[in-house]
Structures are given as structure tokens and as C-alpha cells.
Structure 1
Amino acid sequence: MAMELELKNVDLKVGDKLQVKGEILHDAERFQIDLGCDSDDLALHFNPRFYDDADGSVLVCNSKSAGFWGDEEREMHNPLQRGSDVKIVLKLSGDVFEVELPDGQEVQFPNRTGMDVISYIRITGDFKLTSFKIR
């Protein structure tokens, strides 16, 4: 069963970290963590996919501006496993987003939109959220 958490009027600034803990469902196809100012303007779309037609298990990052997606960036090494408990830490570092994965791998994605304050967070997909922290 897919879950969805949507937060508006958040105040995530440069240097802040968003820590997400949860369980990836046993039959997961994908889930996503979106950061931006609303669903049409996303500075970071972090989207682990466990069965992608083109690449199999892959981490996809993208941005969306005025409802239009940018070019996907794909990281072929996806350490996330179906059925596992994970902690993912997302950090806004000014001109780049840093995503820390459970195995110590870090994925970086440019802040294409230049957002310095994140006011919208959405977590949705084949993921059971157990903890959510901004620090």
C-alpha cells in the first residue's frame, strides 16, 4: 500500500538536513522524496526505482519548474533494497543537494532552480515512513 505525506509551509534552509527513516516495501517498485515550493516547482525529486524498464534498479534525480520536468540524472548504483529499513538524509547545501544513503554513498544533484528555502516536502510511494526529522 503506497503512502503519501505532504507538508506545506515548511522552512528548510541552506545547511538544514531532512532525515527520513522507514521501510521499503517488499514488493516496492518506487518511492519518491520531493523538495520544492509546491508540486509544480521541485528543486529535488529523489526517486529510487527498483524495476525501471531501461536500467533495472536505479536512483533517479530531477527537478520540475512550472510543471515541466528537467533532464533526469540516473545513478546506476542503487544500494537501497526492497524490504529493508533505511535512513536517508537530504541536505540543501546551496548550489547542490546532498543525499546520504544507508551504505554511506552520497548522491549529489545540482540546485537547478536556485531555491534557497524549501517550503514543500512530499514523500510518496512504496515506502512505510517511521520517522521524519528536520535538523
Structure 2
Amino acid sequence: MELEMKNMDFKAGDNLKIKGLILHDADRFQIDLGCDKEDLALHFNPRFNDDLDGTVFVCNSKAAGCWGDEKREINNTLQKGAEVKIVVNFSGDMFEVELPGDQEVHFPNREDMDVIKYLRICGDFQLMSLKISH
């Protein structure tokens, strides 16, 4: 599955609600927010079979096609085959990703983007709904 949106208007104070199904044989999926695919303020990437840590969340940013330093959270509580709601809150200097079970992942806006114009959701995830609240 892949969804790509351009010319979005996602700013500080907004949130993005994503509902979907993690595939039963999922390896990974990702949610990217930024200017375009080469400039990402947030790359949120749950991995279920990571070589280093098994099941992890990996967050990163990308500037002019170059990845930054990965932030890894080993406590990935997402389950293969589960229906999930993921909420991304954007405060301007920080992304807060709310996950099932009151789990949260925080990632700084390293690229200092004021407006997010680009969204991409892809991987082993079946999207059911998407909502942006201002």
C-alpha cells in the first residue's frame, strides 16, 4: 500500500489521525511528513523484524536526500494483524506520535519546517481512514 499527498497544509497545532490495519505478515511500514520525499521532518518507521533490536520504532529526518541520525525506540507495542489508530501531533518544534496503549514517541522537528506539505504512508499497512484536524 502507498498513499502520497502533496500540497498539504499541516502546521503547528494540527494533528493527523491515521486508522488502519497492520498486515498479518508485516515487516515494516512508514509515515513520512515533510516538504517532499527528499526533505522529511518526520520519518516514522515501525519495524517488526529489525536485525539489531527485533521489534522497534525508528524515527529520522532527511535533508536534501541525506538521512540524519536514527532515533530507535525498542518498545514497539504494535502488533501484526492489529487494527490501530495513530495520531501525529505537531507542536512546531516537536512531533508527538500517539499509539495504542497510551504509548507515545517524541521526535524533534530537526529541519525546522513550519508547514508540512508532503505526506507518504507506505509498507505493510492497509489504510482505513485519514483525517487532518486544524
Root-mean-square deviation over aligned CA pairs: 0.4
Match of 2:14 in 1: 16
Q: How far apart, in 2, do the equivalents of 1:50 and 1:65 lie?
A: 26
TM-score by length of 2: 0.98
Shift of 1:68: 0.2
Shift of 1:106: 0.8
Write out the 4+ residue segments of structure 1 that deviate beyond 2 Å after TM superposition.
none
Match of 1:111 in 2: 109
Equivalent of 1:56, from 54, 57, 66?
Answer: 54
Equivalent of 2:68, from 49, 66, 70?
Answer: 70
**Aligned residue pairs: how many?**
133
Equivalent of 2:86, from 82, 85, 88?
Answer: 88
TM-score by length of 1: 0.98
Q: In the alignment, residue 55 of structure 1 is paired with which amino acid?
A: D
- Structure 1 unaligned blocks of 5 or more: none
Q: In the alignment, residue 119 of structure 1 is paired with which amino acid?
A: K
Structure 1 residue 124 corresponds to structure 2 residue 111: no
Shift of 1:94: 1.1
Shift of 1:134: 0.3
Secondary structure of the structure 1 residue equivalent to 2:126: strand
Match of 1:97 in 2: 95
Q: In the alignment, residue 26 of structure 2 is paired with which amino acid?
A: A
Question: Over residues 80-117 of structure 1, what are the superposed CA-to-partner deviations in whole Å (9 max), with x where a residue is unaligned?
Answer: 00000000000111111000001111110010000010
Q: In the alignment, residue 86 of structure 2 is paired with which amino acid?
A: I
